[in-house]
Amino acid sequence: MRRVCGRYATGVAVIGTCGDQGRPVGLTVNSFASLSLAPPLILWSLALHSPNAGLFAPGAHFGVSILRAGYGELARRFATPAADKFAGVAHRRCERGVPYMDAALATLAFSVERADPVGDHLLIVGAVEGFEAGEGEPLVFFGGDFVRIAA
């Protein structure tokens, strides 16, 4: 299943939120997708066994940093279970403390609308609270690696 799904190219994003004592928490996902334009909603999923699953209860706030091309190592870093993934990483925090990557092509702010277990994952629906878009090429994941798209 993983090999077959790997044939579908996706963008790459870092989900950011606040953990214990306001410490920044981040994780790489490629399951991020638009769900609805009216109202504006997105969805993404997180493994149920993730130690961060409890941070995404309804009403919690999180941000999405859609990564630029060339930031594959940053995406890999946030895909690991390291304790302080943000150490030495250029980022900013909004008034709620949610972290956003400076390497982002676009950023979006959300509150959790729903978080439902589906199979072995937690399906998270976020209500859009704000967004910013920049210019450039996206980081793309395909076949288990980061690739560039041809114009």
pLDDT, tens only, 91-146: 999 888 899 999 999 999 999 999 999 999 999 999 999 999 999 999 999 998 99
Close Cβ partners of 62 (under 8 Å, ≥ 6 residues apart): 15, 16, 17, 55, 56, 98, 110, 112, 126
Strand pairing class (145-147; 121-133): unpaired
- For residue 30, pLDDT over 80 is answered with yes
Q: What is the mean pLDDT of the chain?
A: 93
Distance, CA of 140 to chain centre: 14
Close Cβ partners of 114 (under 8 Å, ≥ 6 residues apart): 58, 123, 124, 125
Supply the pLDDT for residue 1.
Answer: 82
- For residue 150, pLDDT over 80 is answered with no
What average pLDDT score do residues 34-43 get? 97
CATH architecture of 2-142: Roll (2.30)
